[in-house]
Each structure stands twice: as structure tokens, then as C-alpha cells.
Chains A and B, each alone.
Chain A
Amino acid sequence: MICRDARELLSAWIDDQLTEAEELSVRAHLEGCDTCRSLAGELESVVSTVRSLPRVEATGDFTARVMGRVQRREERRGWWRDLLRWEPGSLMPAPALRVAAALVLGLFAGFGVAQWTPWSTAPATVSVDSRTLLGESLGAVPASAPAETPRLAGGTEIDYVLDRYTVVHGAAGAPAMRPVLANQDVPVRF
């Protein structure tokens, strides 16, 4: 081992951090090299000096100041912090997510109720055979009587009602859809 290599390992040798093979090599080198042995001694002195430096102690109220900061932080975060906090391992989402999910569900439910029109108030729609439509006026079918099969003024049965459209079966049997004005008492014209 040459001096340059030995000097690279001196601190690790002092700290007993060398492998067995490295330890033997360094020890053998130091036994035969006054310069490196002297350097090793000086490095040990450096280590000893640094380790004997007085420690800086915390001021007396250090712990209280840290705990005060922790406490203030906890208070500042307040209730909404709890809303956002999710406990590891919990299957429940964070409270804030629960609230948000409830609001979204509520909005959807409200929208659905507003848009839903019960059968009893559905607009009067009629389905007629195209043969009866030619120039014929039709009376609106009473919407409050869905249980009975709606009939045209002329007695023709209505096939079926599809929301605001009337399904019309033509003479050739091909269905056609026509819009119907809602809740009109006057005859509907196609």
C-alpha cells in the first residue's frame, strides 16, 4: 500500500470502519511509514478536539415554545382540518369528502325530482291510426284517466304513449313520432 492510499483510509481506520483486509494493509503501512503514522496521530487529535467541543444547550423555555407553536397550529387549523383528515386504515373517507358526496347526491336527487313528471300529470298525448289523421280534428285525451285506454274522439284506440310524443302507426304499419303540445284542451292537430 502506498502513502496516498493509506491516507484515504486513515479516518475509517480511526473509526474502525475498515474491512479486515484493509485494516491489515493500513496497519502494515503505518508500521513502516513515519509520515503516515504521524498524520494518523494528528487526525486522532483533530477528532478528539472536535468531540470535546462544548455542546450548545437549549434555552430553558425551548420545549414550551415548541409546544406552544404546535398548540397554535392545531387551533389555527380548526374544525376544517378535521374535515380533511383521513385516518390511515379507515374505510370511511375523510369527513369533508363525506359532506361533499352528500351534497352532490342531494343535488342530483333534487334535480331528478324537479324533472320527473308523474303519469297523472303527463301531457295529453294520443296515438292514432294515420287513416284518422287526414284532416280530422282530435280531442285531447284526458290525462287524468290513464287507466282507461285512451280513445280518439272518433272511438279509435290509442296504441301507446311515449312521453311527449305520440306514436302513430300508419296504414303500412310503420310507426312515426310526432310532438304533442302539453295539456291542451283544444283539439290537437297533426
Chain B
Amino acid sequence: MAACVAGSQDAFRVLVERYQSRIINLVYRYIGDRSRAEDIAQEVFLRVFVHRHRYRQSGRFSTWIFTIAANLAKNEIRRIVRLRGTLEIDTVEGTAGGPGHYLPDKTPGPDIDTSRAEISSIVSRAIRKLPPKYREALVLRDIEGLSYEEIGEILKIPGGTVRSRINRARLSLREKLGGYAKRDLT
């Protein structure tokens, strides 16, 4: 990063290659649109380059870039909400029913022959239907594997709140997934 701050485009290229997958994943889990997630990820890296002088060497680079990515992803969600003229993006997607309403069939349990891709799609949709403040905590913890401390820094919330949001996100996801939660996708 020091070389990048000095203006080296080669050093910046290494950063892009190292973090692109994580940033795209993070944004994708926030907004659920793969193509748009790549556009926003590009914007994240552009901002990193433009504002590289603001990066504090004392902090972790991953925390800094994830903060930028989370903020841009949240901006995108707000933009979508404005376009749809609703108060909450989840309200738009969740008006058809209560927990688990989007599941193709509520009777199937973990033992049915559901394809891995289908379960992945169901879990992804369930994550997108979480309230944003729970979704972002869950994504940062369980998708990106960040520590509670880093999550607190990125979301600017105290440790107790991080703990609470992650717990509520998982409890809510458990309700939405029902038996699908016990499937391992690997």
C-alpha cells in the first residue's frame, strides 16, 4: 500500500487483484445484483486510488477498503429504494408473505434432492431479505470472515451492537430458511 500511496500503478494493480473477489462478493451480498456489484467494486477501487493519501498506515487496509465498499453498497440500496419509491428495499421483495414465503415448497426437508445451485439461490435470497443492518453484519462476518472488532470499525457501531446484530441476523435467517439451513453447499 505504501508504494500505491506513492502513486505506483503497478502496486495498485496488485491490490486490485488481491481484493477484487472479496469486494465484489461483499457488494453482491448487499445488493444481490452481480453486474451492478462489479460496477460498484470498480468504483471502490477507483476511490481507493484517488484517496490513497487519506489511508492511515496505522489502520488495516482491509478495514479501510471494506468501509468504502460497504458505504457504496448502502448508497446503491438507497438509490434502488428511491427509484422504487418505497421506504425499504426488503419491503418490496417481502410483500408476498412472511418468513419463508419465497421457498418453493415448505414441505421439503433436508433430505430431498434439491440441487446445490437452488439451495444457494434460496439462501442468497433469504440473506437479501434480512433488514439491512442485520444483513451487513452477517455478510461481513459469515461471508467475509471479518472479526467482530473490524465489523464494529466498518459499521461504526460498538462491540455489543455487533454481537447483537450478528445474532439476530442468524436467528432471522434460521426462521427464513427452515430445513434448508441444515444443507451444506460444499
Contacts and interface: CB of A to CB of B under 8 A. Distances in A.
B173 interface: yes
A62 interface: yes
B13 A67 contact: yes
B9 A65 contact: no
A67 B173 contact: no
Interface residues of A, number: 35
A67 B9 contact: yes
B20 A55 contact: no
A7 B171 CA distance: 9
Interface stretch (A43-51, A118-126, A138-146, A151-159): A43-51
B82 interface: no
A63 B174 contact: no
A15 interface: yes
Interface stretch (B66-74, B85-93, B101-109, B135-143): B135-143
Interface residues of B, number: 47
Given A58-B21, A67-B9, A48 B184 contact: yes
Contact of A53 (B34, B41, B50, B123): B123
A30 to B, nearest CB: 15
B66 to A, nearest CB: 15
B38 A49 contact: no
A70 B177 contact: no
A73 B38 CA distance: 19
A62 B20 CA distance: 8
A54 B185 contact: yes
A30 B119 CA distance: 30
A67 to B, nearest CB: 6
A42 interface: yes
Contact of A50 (B20, B38, B45, B127): B127
Interface string B93-132: 0000000000000000000000000011001100100000
A75 interface: no
Interface string B23-36: 01100100000100
A137 interface: no
A69 interface: yes
Contact of A46 (B45, B50, B53, B181): B181
B30 to A, nearest CB: 12
Given A50-B127, A67-B9, A56 B25 contact: yes
Q: Which of A11, A62, A67 counts the most chain B CB atoms within 10 A? A: A11
B16 A52 contact: no
B38 A63 contact: no
B46 A73 contact: yes
